[in-house]
Amino acid sequence: MQLNQQMLLSLAIPKIPRRVARPTPPRDAAAINAEPPRRSERQCVKRHYRKAAAAEAEQRRQQQERADATAQLERRRLKRERDAAVVVEQEQRRLTRQKLKRAQELAREEKTLSQLTWQLQQSLEHVKNERQSQWSVERAERERQLQWSLEGAEIERQRQLKRPKGEPPSPLDLPFVNPAETASPFSGIVPAMSIDTTTKRGGRKKYTALEIRSVIRQFVIDENEATRPITAAIIASHVAKVLQKEKLIPVRSMRRLLRRMGLFHIRGKNRNYLAEREHNVVFRAAYLQKKLDNRDSNKNPVRPEVFLDESYVNVNHVAGKTWLTEDKVRKSKSGRGPRICIVAAGIITCPANLCDGSSTRARNDIQGAFVEGSIVHWNSASKKRKSADDDDYHGNFNAELFESWFEKLCATLEVKHGPCNIHMDGASYHKRLTNPSPNKSWLKPAIQNWLEDHGILYEPRDVIAQLLERVNLHRPVPIYEAQKTATKHGHLLYFTPPYHPELQPIELVWGLIKNRIALNRASNATDLNKKVAEELGKVTPENWCKYYRHVQKFENKYLKALDDCPLISDVEGSEEEGEDADSSDEEDDEVIHYSF
């Protein structure tokens, strides 16, 4: 800026030629001091331009200040507008949230009200159905009793007409008695299979699920032997009589139970048959035949027979009945409490001097006891329930633990008793495969890899179902780790048929131990562990022999059924499986027979 001003000044001011100095007259000092100093024209021009520049700068500064003030006012105005807009938006959001919250509360209230209304309707419908069912049962019972009475009266009248006058009544001419009033709940069960529902002191016996399965199976067999039709409702009624319960098991629940037991519906030419699946019958027949191959003429075992199983007992396991006061209120602890799991093996042998195959052995020449070192019991793992198996010992046992225990058992049997026949159920950890083959749970790449490893050709476009068909054509015979262990020590291993606990004497031993513990309940897990050890030690050889003979009664019954009843193929009935889906309204027309 200064440089430009200097350039302008140099251009605007003309150069004045230097004048020759003229001599000035002398002046005195006072005159010199009184005269003002003179300025040159250049200095005047510079001063003028400086004033102009200063005025221009001041003007620009004032303009800038005015512009800044205007901009600041504008910014303040915009900020006020933005703040006002934010406040309005926040208020709108708050109102919207309040409306939404209120709408949600109203929706919840409406949903709760609808649920309560639905529950009330369901309760009323349930009560109505129960009353109608009760009235129907009572009406049917009254009609049946009336029919029996009318038939009895007619029979008595015919007898009186046929009897000559003055002749005393014969033993066959007894008064008619209503069978419904005198028949035992177990009239359909043969004497060898009858189950007493009363204890020594009277009262009703408490049945386990396994015993109920045995009762159902035997009832169906007996009803078919008598050529009487049977339905799921009839089975439910029979179970209710056995349990001495007034309320029947629902028909659908009974059908599901029958299917779990290996029973299903097939449609023949004129009637339906409630038959066991062929492979289950073949399994049981082969098992019984192999088991009987080890018996002599007195039904004593030739080679020692070993029965192993797992069980459990809870701290709060108590007896089913107790003495109470007039209020009939029984106080008990909440829940079942901690659990003790047990695994053991029992052995049935003959004395060494008689186990030579000779016929001199008597029927009572057998001995039974727990295998030395086979009893193991431990506190159940405390964990969250993930599956139904966690409700019993299965959730606390696996293949690794079992195989380690089974290896020690086989070694002990080999040293103490020589070659033995070992019987155990088909739990998953008992049957770990050493040569697994594909199934429906395998992924497609895994199935393809298995086929390639075994040199089996397949099409890349084949789906899983087609690949499994190829697998089934070349599926190897399953080899179980437990079977290899038993064979290594010279033993024979047999798996009992599914849902046949009555073929295992050790199941009765578990029941004996649990009943004794229930009569003397444990206070905690440590006390329960001690009681389990004590009760296991109290099982006598007589108990083992008694239970072994009891199991033989069931074996005889099953063998008789296999000889008398024909087998029905699964293939013939596979097309008609579906009784649960379309037979709920045809119960009266349903004719079912049981056949092996």
Indicate if 337 and 406 belong to the same structural domain. yes
Where a domain ends, among 138, 156, 183? 183
Lowest mean pLDDT among 273-282, 309-318, 384-393, 566-575: 566-575
Compute the distance between CA of residue 446 and CA of residue 453 in angstroms, rounded to an integer.
Answer: 10
Domain that holds residue 206: 187-278+582-595
Q: Pick the residue with more confidence: 118 or 135?
A: 118
pTM given for the model: 0.52
Calculate the alpha carbon distances from 542 to 310, 365, 448, 533 in Å.
21, 11, 56, 19
Residues 407 and 377 in one domain: yes
pLDDT of 322-379, one tens digit each? 554 445 555 666 667 888 999 999 999 987 544 444 444 555 678 999 999 999 988 8
94-116 confidence digits (pLDDT tens): 999 999 999 999 988 988 888 88
Residue 443: inside a domain: no
Q: Where are the alpha helices (DSSP H) in 13-40?
A: 29-34
User: Is residue 440 one of the residues assigned to a domain?
Assistant: no
- The verdict on 486 and 541 lying in the same domain is yes
pLDDT tens digits for range 120-139: 888 888 888 777 777 777 77
Higher pLDDT, 537 or 191: 537
580 or 434, higher pLDDT: 434
Lowest pLDDT segment from 82-86, 160-164, 572-576: 572-576
Quick check: is 49 in a domain? no
User: Chain-wide mean pLDDT for the chain?
Assistant: 75
On whether the CB atoms of residues 500 and 284 are closer than 8 A, the answer is yes
The pLDDT value given to residue 77: 92
> What's the rounded Cα separation, in Å, for the pair 536 and 344?
10
Residue 118: pLDDT band by 50, 70, 90 thresholds?
confident
d(CA 219, CA 222): 5
Q: What is the pLDDT of residue 302?
A: 92
User: Would you say residue 141 has pLDDT above 50?
Assistant: yes
| Total domains present in the chain | 3
Residue 51 placed within a domain: no
379-405 pLDDT tens trace:
876 555 555 444 445 556 788 999 999
* Residues 421 and 513 occupy one common structural domain: yes
The β-bridge relationship of strands 492-495 and 421-424 is parallel
Residue 195 lies in a domain: yes
CB under 8 Å to 312, separation ≥6 — which residues?
Answer: 339, 340, 341, 342, 380, 392, 393
- Which pLDDT does position 321 carry in this prediction? 61
Question: What are 508's two structure tokens?
Answer: 């009765």
Same domain, 505 and 431: yes
Residues 361 and 404 in one domain: yes
